[in-house]
Structure 1
Amino acid sequence: MPRYRYTARKPNGKRISAVIEAASESDAIANVSASGAVLLSLEITQARAKTSSGPLFQQGVKMDALVIFCRQAYSLIKAGVPLMRAIKGLAQSSNDKPLKAALDSVAAELSNGRPMSSAMRDFPQVFSDLFVSLVQLGENTGRLDDAMLQLSEYYEQEMETRRRIKSALRYPSFVLAVIVAAMAFLNVKVIPQFAGMFAKFGSDLPLPTKILMTTSNFFVDFWWLLVISSVCLLAGWHAWKNTDEGRVKWDSFKLRIPLIGSLVNRALMSRFSRTFALMLRAGVPLNTALHMAGEALDNRFLALEVEKMKTAIESGMNLSSVTADSKLFTPLVHQMIQVGEETGQIDNLLLEASDFYDREVDYDLKTLSARMEPILLMIVAGMVLILALGIFLPMWNMLDLIRGG
């Protein structure tokens, strides 16, 4: 019989954690509810067998579709529409195929008496652990509409942050792509024409010209080797990045990229603070909220740092001491957490910390293109300088030979 670990709140307000055996998840929920306690979280302690009925490569749901679903679900539930009817209607109106398939299955499970959060847990590629946990808490407290509203606001903020980052990086990425294309075109089409002209004069070529000619010949004669090497390097990098060690190192490197690394770090800290506050406000235990907030970061390096914080809290340290030792947060945010711990308003002050990070990210995004322009200009100037030295120096030498001849 499966074993389930649960966290619940007794009628006297005391929070308990224990393990229970039940034939199914719904039976475990019923047994805990029968004891008079309010269930806060429930997870199976044995690994769940993976089904092979789905496709080999499962597609995730688009975030904007998830936002629309949460908004519509909030409106329907708040208006008093029965849950199963609401989910069926949302499944029919959804244009996102993964979300539509998941909602159809959830509606079928609801008709069989299964809780919605339990049915959603079968689709981790659509509904994250954070999503399922908030839905479960909404079911247990009778405030499912508030849970859907909180989720919609959370994903709307995430979508807006991603949109702003992509918008800020679009111009630098375009310029770099044009530079790479121009270099390839010059090496394949332009420089060989000058090489033929220089060869007719038979004069000794300067070093920059020799370097340009060698590079151009390599591009023309061994382009296939460049293509194969690029594909192999990309495949090898992708395979390494998917390993545990590779993902930690790559996620750590992303936070140290000049200009962009600090921006990404603050955006992730905003997400962590917002998720952590959301879970605490919903009544999730502190260590569980830390774990789920770390998983929501989508950065393995930071997630491991959050796990260290979780371990320290479980060993008896308070949250403010842990955040001070972790060095993930700015002193201002650490002070907010410290004050929140003293006043019992950690969730509110964490949301203030998230807003603080969002304002910093917004300012950095507005000035990112301006700060990157000097670097791009230096790259373009370096390319022009190399071409000028490689092409015009031998032409000047040839003019000198013609005048002296």
Structure 2
Amino acid sequence: MPMFQYKARNASGALISGAVDAATLDDAAGELLGQGMTPIDIKAGRASRGRIVTPPEAAGPRPATRKRPGNQPEQSAMQQINEVLLRKKIDITELIIFSRQMQSLTKAGLPLDRALTGLMGSMKNPRFKQLMTEVLASLESGQSLSTALGHHPKVFSPLFLSLVDVGENTGRLDLAFEQISRYLELEKNTRKQVKSATRYPTFVVITIAVALAIITYFVIPAFSETFARLGAELPLETRILIGISDFVVQWWQFLLGATVAIIVGFKVWVRSRRGRLIWDHQKMKLPLAGPVFKRIALARFSRTFSMIMKAGVPIVHGMGVVAGAVGNKFVAGRVLRMRDGISRGESLYNTAVAADMFSPLVLQMIAVGEESGTIDQLLEEVADFYDAEVEYDLKRLGEVIEPILIMFIAGMVLVLALGVFLPIWDLSSAVNN
């Protein structure tokens, strides 16, 4: 019977190596999974006469070696330049596809190196393919999958890494990737709803800004010259419009520079630690949009916390992961305060009350879940509740913003009409008289 040399990780995460007799490679992987080990690498060895499984040995890390999958030839310099130019950001859709594929491959018992090599062949994004090459090299050097993925924190979130780590330690990577794909799909759906709700208002605001710029810079100066030649006395509205237009025409370079400086300065300030904390707090107080931002953050908190509890992550460590996944620094600070309270021995319900973020209904569900030991299930229901609220709020937001924009456009047209056409009416009346 054929013998297969293998490297795998046991339930405690230690790297072990050995040999196993099996008819096929899949049988060898199944044998290892049955012993509670997660296969990393399985290679065909010498045939043996009996079915003997050699005892696992602790394997030291090997130096990382980078190989081209499928022995592909070296690329030319022009091809490498094209790949760099065409390289795009790894978006959430690619992460969802990656998680689904990893779920299927790990569920089938395929070793991690073969699974990643197979996925690299179907990837269209050169950046993601290069990242997988680095992850594969880290695996071959003896690192765990969560550690290898952790070298790329801009792509894989702390939640992603924590669930993969739990899946490795329990030998159920397929369930970990299933949870990850579900979470990413819900996150993608939330982002799509937000973009859909803000697309129309954004388009209208940009159109209004362009129209105002054209009218102020080109149209009003033409009317101003005509009125000046006629020497007629102009109404107050017209004099205000002409004054604004003259100011813009004379100082437009400085106005444009100041606008760009304000936008860039705001982005730099928001990226700072203190600026991000203040902005995340204040945007939840904005009219109309503020409650939506708050519910999105709380929905992420509830769903992430539910997943962490289901995965068996210790609650104190899990709260730190949840704080990094909510996407709001102010809410993250409240979650970390909850973690500190739990580490001091306080109940989850008391820390949730002290955080002052949740509605009475949610607090009641947390209390019931803590008493009954079903906090993960009830938190998932809380997340579904918040998701439904967010969907309703986003629809309502679009319905409320639309009449506001229409009133704003009507007011702008009224001001322009009074400022531009009143003098024309006055001149025609004077001519007729």
| TM-score category of the 2 structures, normalised to the smaller one | 0.7 to 0.9
Indicate if the aligned counterparts of 2:13 and 2:168 stay in contact, CA closer than 8 A.
no
Residue 92 of structure 1: how far off its partner (Å)? 2.4
Q: Does 1:233 align with 2:233?
A: no
Q: Which residue of 1 aligns with 2:183?
A: 154
Q: Is the 8 A contact 1:271 1:297 kept in 2?
A: yes
Is it true that 1:105 corresponds to 2:124 in the alignment? no
Larger Rg, first or second structure (1 or 2): 2
Matches within 5 A, 1:15-164: 30=14, 61-164=90-193
Deviation for aligned residue 1:99: 2.4
**Match in the other structure for 1:322:** 351
8 Å CA contact 1:290–1:306 kept in 2: the answer is yes
Residue equivalent to 2:209: 180
Aligned with 2:225 (options 181, 192, 196): 196
Which of 315, 324, 330 matches 1:301?
330
Is contact 1:248–1:301 with CA below 8 Å preserved after alignment? yes
1:385-404 to structure 2, matched below 5 A, reads: 385-404=414-433
* C-alpha contact (below 8 Å) 1:70/1:152 kept by paired residues: yes
- Residue type of the partner of 1:93? S
Match of 1:109, SS state, is helix
Structure 2: which amino acid aligns with 1:239?
A: V
Amino acid at match of 1:135: V
Partner of 1:246: 275
Preserved CA contact (<8 Å) 2:150 2:161: yes
What are structure 2's unaligned runs of at least 5 residues?
Answer: 1-9, 16-35, 37-83
| Alignment partners' CA distance in 2, 1:394 and 1:145 | 75
| Pairs aligned (count) | 354
The TM-score with structure 1 as length reference comes to 0.83
Give the deviation of 1:377 after TM superposition.
Answer: 1.3
Q: CA deviation at 1:116?
A: 0.8
Does the aligned pair in 1 maintain the 2:162–2:321 contact within 8 Å? Answer: no
**Distance in 2, Cα, partners of 1:199 & 1:235:** 40
d(CA) in 1 for partners of 2:135, 2:220:
63
Distance 1:310 1:96 in 2: 39
Quote how far apart the aligned CAs of 1:91 are.
2.1
How far is 1:309 from its partner?
A: 1.5
Q: What's the counterpart of residue 62 of structure 2?
A: none
- Letter of the aligned partner of 2:305 in structure 1? F
The verdict on how the C-alpha distance between 1:306 and 1:59 changes in structure 2, with shifts beyond 3 A counting, is farther
- Per the TM alignment, residue 60 of structure 1 is displaced from its structure 2 partner at its CA by 5.1
Q: What is the Cα deviation at residue 253 of structure 1?
A: 2.1
CA offsets 1:53-102 (integer angstroms, 9 cap, x no match)? xx9xx975210000000000001111121111001111222223332222
The within-5 A match list for 1:276-295 is 276-295=305-324
Q: Is the 8 A contact 1:340 1:349 kept in 2?
A: yes
Q: Deviations over 1:355-395 (max 9, x none)?
A: 00111111222232211112101211220121122112222
2:293 aligns with one of 235, 258, 264: 264
Q: Among 216, 221, 242, which residue is 2:245 paired with?
A: 216
Scaled by the length of structure 2, the TM-score of the pair is 0.78
SS in 1 for 2:285: coil
- 1:353 corresponds to: 382
What fraction of aligned residue pairs are identical, expressed as a percent?
44
Please, what is the CA RMSD of the aligned residues? 2.0
Amino acid at match of 1:317: E
Give the conservation status (yes or no) of the 8 Å contact 2:237–2:418.
Answer: yes
Contact 2:99 2:178 in 1 (8 A): yes
Q: Is the 8 A contact 1:62 1:96 kept in 2?
A: no
The amino acid that maps onto 1:266 is: R
Partner SS for 1:222: helix
- Paired residue type of 1:309: M
Output the CA distance in 1 between the equivalents of 2:169 and 2:207: 55
Q: Are the counterparts in 1 of residues 88 and 125 from structure 2 also a CA contact under 8 Å? A: no
Contact 1:61 1:125 in 2 (8 A): no
For 2:60, the equivalent position in structure 1 comes to none
Distance in 2 separating the partners of 1:73 and 1:379: 51
Check conservation: 2:160, 2:180, Cα contact below 8 A: yes
Distance across 2 between alignment mates of 1:319 and 1:191: 64
d(CA) in 1 for partners of 2:102, 2:13 = 23
The whole-number CA distance in structure 2 between the counterparts of 1:92 and 1:176 is 44
CA distance in 1, matches of 2:126, 2:345: 46
- Matches of 1:60 and 1:157, distance apart in 2: 20
Query: Unmatched 5+ residue regions in structure 1?
Result: 1-25, 32-37, 39-54
Residue deviations 1:270-310, cap 9 Å, x none?
Answer: 11111111111111111221121111112111111111211
Residue identity opposite 1:146 in structure 2: L
Counterpart AA for 1:339? V
Displaced runs of 4 or more, over 4 A: none
1:259 aligns to what SS in structure 2? Answer: coil
Alpha-carbon deviations, 1:332-355, whole Å to 9, x = none? 111111110010011100000000
Amino acid at match of 1:209: T
Query: Cα offset for 1:203?
Result: 2.1
Counterpart-to-counterpart distance in 2, 1:298 and 1:75: 29
Residue 302 of structure 2 aligns with an amino acid whose one-letter code is S
